[in-house]
């Protein structure tokens, strides 16, 4: 009786969840599919809207978690970190403050209760957070599929080498 209840429960779960990558679809077909949220993330990076880029990647992780989606969110964390380094080296603290506001402001309510913070403090807090989150999401991607994660990181490494001063303003061509 207990085994038949387990079987019914598992079958019910399969019916509720439907077929998909968890049920035998090859990972390559999932990784290669176009993803609207990830396309938007690239546009947001070009615009310098790092909060929305993170949100777009997170939405894709929520909808269809994969190595590709975890690598994308890790890449955005790295892009924020590199952009902050670039701004601080050029002593563009007003731009650091703008980035802080971009990451902190989300709702109209924030206009009447604004997040405060000095630019240099904001830089340190943001960098520490994005570095930690990048490590976490990179580890998740590696756990899902190390060879695919390595392939995607190889693409971004080439992108960074080809665009050393601006790589954080967009994603590698194969990711678009």
Q: Is the pTM of this model over 0.85?
A: no
Q: Is the pLDDT of residue 3 over 70?
A: no
Are 41 and 76 in contact by the 8 Å Cβ rule? The answer is yes
Alpha-carbon distances of 55 from 24, 36, 41, 79, 163, rounded to whole Å = 29, 13, 8, 14, 24
Q: Where in the chain are the domains?
A: 36-175
pLDDT digits (tens, 9 = 90+) for 31-72: 444 478 888 999 999 999 999 999 999 999 999 999 999 999
Are 30 and 59 in contact by the 8 Å Cβ rule? The answer is no
Q: Is the pLDDT of residue 90 over 50?
A: yes
Interatomic CA distance for residues 132 and 111, integer angstroms: 28
Confidence of residue 109 (pLDDT cuts 50, 70, 90): low
């Amino acid at each position: 009786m207990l085994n038949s209840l387990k079987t019914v429960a598992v079958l019910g779960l399969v019916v509720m969840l439907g077929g998909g990558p968890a049920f035998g679809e090859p990972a390559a077909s999932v990784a290669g599919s176009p993803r609207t949220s990830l396309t938007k993330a690239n546009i947001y990076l070009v615009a310098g809207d790092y909060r929305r880029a993170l949100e777009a990647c997170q939405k894709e992780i929520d909808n269809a978690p994969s190595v590709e989606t975890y690598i994308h969110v890790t890449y955005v964390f790295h892009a924020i970190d590199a952009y902050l380094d670039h701004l601080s080296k050029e002593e563009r603290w007003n731009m650091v403050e703008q980035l802080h506001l971009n990451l902190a402001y989300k709702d109209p309510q924030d206009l009447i209760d604004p997040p405060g913070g000095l630019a240099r403090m904001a830089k340190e807090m943001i960098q520490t957070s994005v570095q930690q989150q990048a490590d976490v999401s990179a580890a998740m991607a590696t756990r899902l599929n190390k060879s695919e994660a390595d392939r995607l990181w190889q693409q971004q490494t080439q992108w960074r080498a080809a665009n050393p001063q601006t790589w954080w303003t967009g994603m590698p061509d194969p990711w678009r």
